[in-house]
Amino acid sequence: MSRVFVNIGLSLDGYMAPEGMRMDDPGYLNWGAKWGAMMRWILKQQHFRENLGFGPGGETGPVNDHVRHTMERIGANIMGKRMFDQGEVAWPEDAPFHTPVYVLTHEQREPWVRPGGTTFHFVNDGPERALELAREAAGDRDVRIAGGADVIQQYLNLGAVDELEIALALVLFGGGRRLFENLRDPGPQLRIDRVLDGPDATHLRYVRP
Q: Which CATH class is domain 4-207?
A: alpha beta
Q: How far apart are alpha carbons 38 and 56 in whole angstroms? A: 22
Q: Where are the domains of the chain?
A: 4-207
pLDDT score, position 76: 98
Share of the chain above pLDDT 70, in %: 98
Whether 155 and 28 have beta carbons less than 8 Å apart is answered as no
Q: Which of 16-20, 90-94, 142-146, 179-183 has the highest mean pLDDT?
A: 142-146
117: confidence class by pLDDT, cuts 50, 70, 90: very high
Angle at 133 between CA 191 and CA 107, to 5 degrees: 110
Cβ(13)–Cβ(174) below 8 Å: yes
Tell me the per-residue pLDDT of 23-66, one tens digit each, with 9 for 90 and over: 777 667 788 889 899 999 999 999 999 887 777 889 999 999 99
The pLDDT assigned to 168 comes to 98
Rounded to a whole number, what is the distance in angstroms from the first to the last CA of the chain? Answer: 17
User: How far apart are the C-alpha atoms of 16 and 177, rounded to whole Å?
Assistant: 6
Strand partners of residue 140? none
Q: Which of 199, 161, 169, 148 is nearest to 14 (CA)?
A: 169
Q: Report pLDDT for 131.
A: 98
Q: What is the largest CA-CA distance in the chain?
A: 46
The rounded mean pLDDT for the chain is: 93
The letter for the amino acid at 7 is: N
Q: What average pLDDT does this structure show over 100-113?
A: 96
Does residue 186 have a cis peptide bond before it, meaning omega lies within 30 degrees of 0? yes
pLDDT of residue 81: 95
Give tens-digit pLDDT for 61-105: 999 999 999 999 999 999 999 999 988 888 888 888 999 999 999
